[in-house]
Amino acid sequence: MESQETSANLVAVTIRAVHPAGYGIGQTETGARLSFRGTLPGEMVMTRAAHAETAERAGKLLLDSDEIIELKNPSPDRVVPPCPYFGECGGCSLQHWSLNAAADFKRERIVQALAKAGFHDAPVAPTIAIAPGLRRRMDLAVKREGAVVKLGLHVQGSSNVVDLSSCLALEPALTALFDPLRACLRGISAFRQNASVIANRVESGIDILLRLDGPVTADDRKRLANFARDAGVMRIALGHGMVRGKPAPAEILVNNGAVFTVFDGTQIALPPGAFLQPSREGETAIRAEVVAALSAQKLPARPVVSELYAGNGTLSFGIGKVARVRAYEGDETASAAINRAASGGQINAQCRDLTRQPLQKTDFAGSCAIVLDPPFDGAGLQIPPIAQSDVTVVIYVSCNPLAMTRDLTLLANAGFTVARAAPIDQFPWTTEIEAVITLVRAKRARDKRAG
């Protein structure tokens, strides 16, 4: 960036780290802490001295990319962002950082999260990186502005929508829907001002869940049916918000055949808008880590595993190949689908809201291991009964290092150690990272705690 500012008006800020939100954090020679989007460790930002003085007086971190007057010492890991929407679209924050360097940063997030939980020097494997362009799930906002319909992601820190014609993170089959879907929604009377679209590309085809802000008419249904036929969409459903804290049953508007996916060789029917791991490759990596972790333990002759937050069975059918599975899931439709696909075999799923009715330590009697894949906010009240149980193996699948630290601190205090941690990066160009954490404790430590 060129500057007409005099050197007396400027101050240097050295970027020391990247914040989990994606911006660079830096410090002046006098100790003022500032942060700037689009910056990387080791780089130097020249900013207005008055801006740095404001940060120093405030005694807190100030974020203002507009105050970058000049960028010096560009990082050797800096790359040209490949997406034309980068910097405006809120979907990706790290396209200016090489994928290898970002993978190392994400691994370090897991290292630090475990250390804060009490697991210092935990064995953390190299990051398993999933390539861009493999996302099979999209969640887009739609906004009507006069005669214009915008479909895409929100602008960073705003309710405005970036109108996308492409997305390098998604599978091409999903980005191919952008233009025809935008054209279809333009003529939908039930879409008045704001809508959202969730689309999953699964083995049977594309499944769409719409949320609209008006009543659906017969003409709307016809338009959607024509769109689905022309675009090769299997199903379109209409979401109806939440009832008693849970999603209300969706209304099927268009149905062109069964919607299903395959988990470890087992076909399972999916409800509209079903939660799936963002990529097949990431799903496979997570399941492989979980199964390998179980197989590495000294399991009893007829092992039983308690699986919590089972979802639609993403991990259940892999675990079912090495143990009997007691699966717990809060969504009744999802748990019923698991049982139908399992056909009374190794897997039995129960509908139970673990947020409101967590399992107690006695519920784990007979289980040799617990596998849990909690939501973004973590397992919360479910963790203390796990810590108090007699189970000596816990496999925790995390999608949020902050929640992971909070949950695993209790397990560290209960005598668990980390046998292996495997970071899995399904979100290239973002700071998001998942991990499979295998925790074990000796029977001696458990008995001491119980006494």
Q: Is the pLDDT of residue 451 over 50?
A: no
User: Contact at 8 Å (CB) between 315 and 334?
Assistant: no
User: What's the rounded Cα separation, in Å, for the pair 105 and 126?
Assistant: 11
pLDDT confidence band for 350 (50 / 70 / 90): very high
The tally of CA atoms less than 13 A away on the side-chain side of residue 80 is 2
Distance CA 123, CA 441 (A): 15
- The per-residue pLDDT for 450 is 42
Give mean pLDDT, residues 203-226: 96
pLDDT at 233: 97
Residue % of the chain over a pLDDT of 70: 93
38 within 8 A of 87, measured Cβ to Cβ: yes
Rounded to 10 deg, the angle between the 218-231 and 178-186 helix axes is 170
Angstrom distance (rounded) from CA 298 to CA 305: 13
Average pLDDT over residues 32-36: 86
In tens, the pLDDT along 354-371 reads: 999 999 999 999 999 999
Task: List, in order of start, the domains of the chain with CATH numbers.
Answer: 7-72 (2.40.50), 99-131+276-450 (3.40.50.150), 137-269 (2.40.50.1070)
Summarised one tens digit per residue, pLDDT across range 157-210 is 788 999 999 999 999 999 999 999 999 999 999 999 999 999 999 999 999 999
pLDDT at residue 444 tops 70: no
Q: Helices 99-116 & 401-413, crossing angle to 10 degrees?
A: 30
387 has a pLDDT exceeding 90: yes
Per-residue pLDDT, 98 = 97
The candidate with the shortest Cα–Cα distance to 319, out of 311, 330, 327, is 327
- Give the whole-angstrom CA distance, residue 78 versus residue 61: 24
**Is the predicted pLDDT of residue 244 greater than 50, yes or no?**
yes
Decide: 307 and 394 in contact? Cβ < 8 Å.
Answer: no
Residue 69 is predicted with a pLDDT of 85
What HEC string does 90-129 produce?
CCCCCCCECHHHHHHHHHHHHHHHHHHCCCCCCCECCCEE
pLDDT at 59: 62
Which pLDDT tens digit goes with each residue over 66-116?
678 889 999 999 999 999 999 899 899 999 999 999 999 999 999 999 999
Q: Give the Cα separation of 407 and 403 in Å (integer).
A: 6
What is the pLDDT confidence band of residue 3, given thresholds at 50, 70 and 90? Answer: very low
- Percentage of the residues of the chain whose pLDDT score is greater than 90: 79
pTM of the model as a whole: 0.91
Instruction: Determine the pLDDT at residue 445.
Output: 45
If pLDDT is split at 50, 70 and 90, which confidence band does 5 have? low
pLDDT at residue 242, rounded to an integer: 55
User: What local confidence, expressed as pLDDT, does residue 60 receive?
Assistant: 59
pLDDT band at residue 343 under the 50/70/90 scheme: confident
Q: Can you give the pLDDT at residue 112?
A: 97
